[in-house]
A and B are shown apart, each in its own frame.
Chain A
Amino acid sequence: MTLSRILFLAFFSFFSTSALATTEVKDPLNSPMWDYMVEQFFKDVPWKFDDRVKVITPKVAEDSARVPVSVRAEGIGKVEEMIVIVDLSPFPKVAHYYPMKTEPYLELRLKLNEASAIRAAAKTSDGVWHIGGMYVDGAGGGCAAPRIKVAGPGWADNLGKVQGRLWKRKNGTERIRVRVMHPMDTGLVNNIPAFYIETLSITDQKGALLARLDSFEPVAANPVFSFEIKGGHGGYALKGRDNNGNDFRAIVLPKVK
């Protein structure tokens, strides 16, 4: 075989492989775990990458125990479900939100175990999952770090205390922020079993369900969640439960000036 023939073959094979690659959908975040994420969360369902699903988070996770992530899925039609996933994590699924009568917006803070793609997927009424995301660099260790740093040593005395507030926004929506005192143990540290808030629901004052959030191990200790709701309901009731059966209840009303 001559050198020129080898070069020709190398040249030819380079172009033929790149031609093949373009026929598949390439992960814009180039994550090594993307195929596995598809396998786990989007097997046999229609999905596509969609820039309109926005994930906002700092490019570098300064505090891996608490990385703020805001998700918004606007302009794609009615969103029925939203999930937040972290590709490189012992627990890829962070939260599953059913916005129902609320806006397709969610803010939370998560534990990052290593630099990874953080994604949000929004399912529209036609059954298609629209997927956006961002790559976050960081030292990691968030899922495997002791809670003492964030939840504090006196967590048991404060378990279930809820803080929160409601704001009327210029665009006519209301934003709710809720902070629940909870250690959110992943089960990966010091033989402490997994202990985390599993679910949180928002109802109006008459008890009609407006939205539900299921949360998982990677949500940061003393979790904070933000939601947005169109129009005024004059206040909301929040109801939550952890995986040990502890219930949390709170009522958030507009601030009286």
Chain B
Amino acid sequence: MTSYKQILVEAFLVLSLALISVPSNASKLVYNLKPQLIADGVYLLEGSTDHFNRKNGGNIVNTGFLVGPDGVIVIDTGPSLRYGSEMRAAIKAVTPKPIKSIIITHDHPDHYLGNQAFKDIPIMALPETIAVIKRDGDEVAEGMYRMVGDWMRGTEVVVPNQKAKNGEIVIGGRAISLIALDGHTSGDLVVFDKKSGVIFAGDLAFHKRTPTFPSATLNKWVKSLIKLKNIPFKIMVPGHGPIVTDSRAIDSTIDYIKWIDATLRAGVDSGADMNEMMATDIPAPYNQWGVSRDEFIRSITYLFPKMEAELLPRIDN
């Protein structure tokens, strides 16, 4: 005869075993980063065009590295300590040369939360970027933990410790141009590798992926993109989405920014409320890009109140 107590004890044991087995699943989280050679000594780690989620672990971003005669330059470090560590291992598998410098393109979390894995190396960013990471980094990292979960384990904000300046610089024997722009955020750093003609545009350029606006200034962003168009690059690595060999990523990002601007102005002018605005039809080709509706809603969240502040007339005396 089986006692009630015995059943409880057995049930307890089964449940405890189930709980113990959870961490072994968690340890399977791997980004599986595979550097692609896109030009002589230039490697790309391409992310998905999705939103942050628990499947992709925040790997929605393009990062890369340049191998010079004496060392390696890393461009952006990804969304987490885990990503940074895997990226570092992937670089080591490609070249035995030492990593000389890390360049952070801007202050969004998917681009710099891997810094921790490169703590022993100088990390540079524009002064505006450094200030925002200092101010908002912890809060932004917390948001990432909430969105992608265990992938973030152990991740802490490491603020870049070197101020980047506009102009030419030689790192690891490789001459690159740093181009200081803004518009997507308060500081957007573009890296142009003259030798190969590869340009890392950061999030100034998106390709087949909806641009994001939480820190954007629309007119500045368009101006920066027009400047990028005048640079004689052969391959452009956008911040998100596949690489391009022409100005398509620039043009489509400009078109989208202009469409968003016109849509918001018309929306405020028509008296639409924010939720009506968020339900607006998204025309082709934008509705075919990654996460078009979600990103459109995010854009309205940040830009519509600013547009109201700008466009609604004063009605107190």
Q: Which residues of A contact B (CB under 8 A)?
A: 1-3, 6, 56-58, 62-63, 66, 68-70, 107, 109, 139, 141, 160-165, 167, 169, 175, 177-179, 222, 224, 226, 238, 248-252
- Docked-complex contact A167 and B276, CB < 8 angstroms: no
Residues of A within 8 A of B275 (CB): 56-58, 68-70, 107
Judge if B143 is at the interface, Cβ distance under 8 Å. yes
Determine whether the beta carbon of B301 is less than 8 Å from that of A222: no
| Shortest Cβ distance from residue A245 to the other chain B in the assembled complex, whole angstroms | 17
Contact A58–B301 (Cβ < 8 Å): yes
Q: B2 at interface (Cβ–Cβ under 8 A)?
A: yes
- Are A163 and B270 neighbours in the complex by a CB distance under 8 Å? no
Other than the given A70-B275, A238-B315, 7 more pairs (CB < 8 A) read A69-B275, A70-B274, A139-B146, A162-B316, A163-B313, A163-B315, A175-B271
| Cβ B315 vs Cβ A107 within 8 A | no
Shortest distance between the CB of A252 and any CB in chain B (Å)? 5
Give every chain A residue within 8 A of B146 (Cβ-Cβ). 139
Binds A, one of B22-30, B61-69, B304-312: B304-312
The 7 closest A-B pairs by CB, nearest first: A167-B271, A68-B274, A163-B312, A162-B316, A250-B315, A107-B273, A62-B301
Task: List chain B residues, Cβ under 8 A from A63.
Answer: 301-302
For A56, give the chain B residue with the smallest CB separation: B275
Closest partner residue, chain B, to A63 (CB atom): B301
Quote the shortest CB–CB distance from A232 to chain B (angstroms): 15
Contact yes or no, A163 B143, CB < 8 A = no
Residue of B whose beta carbon sits closest to that of A57 = B275
Residues of B within 8 A of A160 (CB): 316
Q: Is B227 interfacial (CB-CB < 8 Å)? A: no
Pairwise interchain contact B317-A249, C-beta atoms closer than 8 A: yes
CB pair A70 B276 closer than 8 Å? yes
CB–CB A163/B7 < 8 A: no
Residues of A within 8 A of B2 (CB): 2-3
Q: Are B270 and A6 in contact (CB under 8 A)?
A: no
Q: B308, A224: Cβ atoms under 8 Å?
A: yes
- Docked Cα-Cα span, A199 to B18, in Å, equals 55
Mask: chain B, 4-46; 1 = CB below 8 Å from A; 0 = not: 1001000000000000000000000000000000000000000
CB–CB B316/A250 < 8 A? yes
- Taking the complex as formed, is B168 at the interface, i.e. its CB lies under 8 A from any CB of chain A? no
Chain B residues with CB under 8 A of A68: 273-275, 278, 301
Q: Which of A2, A57, A62, A177 contacts B312 (CB 8 A)?
A: A177
A182 to chain B, nearest CB (A): 12
A-B contact pairs, 5 of them (CB 8 A): A2-B2, A70-B276, A179-B308, A222-B305, A249-B317
- Closest-CB distance, B138 to chain A (whole angstroms): 12
User: Distance in Å from the Cβ of A237 to the closest Cβ of chain B?
Assistant: 10
Task: Output the nearest chain B residue to A224 by Cβ-Cβ distance.
Answer: B308
Contact of A62 among B1, B7, B142, B297 (CB under 8 A): B297
CB <8 Å contact, A249 and B278? no
Separation of A167 and B271 alpha carbons in the complex (Å): 6
Which of B142, B309, B316 gathers the greatest number of chain A CB atoms within 10 Å?
A: B316
Q: Which of A57, A62, A252 contacts B298 (CB 8 A)?
A: A62
The answer to whether residues A58 and B297 also contact, given A179-B308, A224-B308, A226-B273 and a CB cut-off of 8 A, is yes
Complex Cα spacing A107 to B313, Å = 19
B139 neighbours in A (Cβ, 8 Å): 141
Residues from chain A with Cβ under 8 Å of B301 in the complex: 58, 62-63, 66, 68
Contact for B274 among A1, A107, A167, A252, CB less than 8 A: A107
Tell whether A252 pairs with B315 under 8 Å between CB atoms, given A66-B305, A224-B308.
yes
Among B271, B274, B276, B314, point to the contact of A163 (Cβ < 8 A): B314
Listed residue (A62, A63, A226, A249) with the most chain B CB atoms within 10 angstroms of its CB: A62
Q: Chain A residues with Cβ under 8 A from B305's Cβ? A: 66, 109, 222, 224
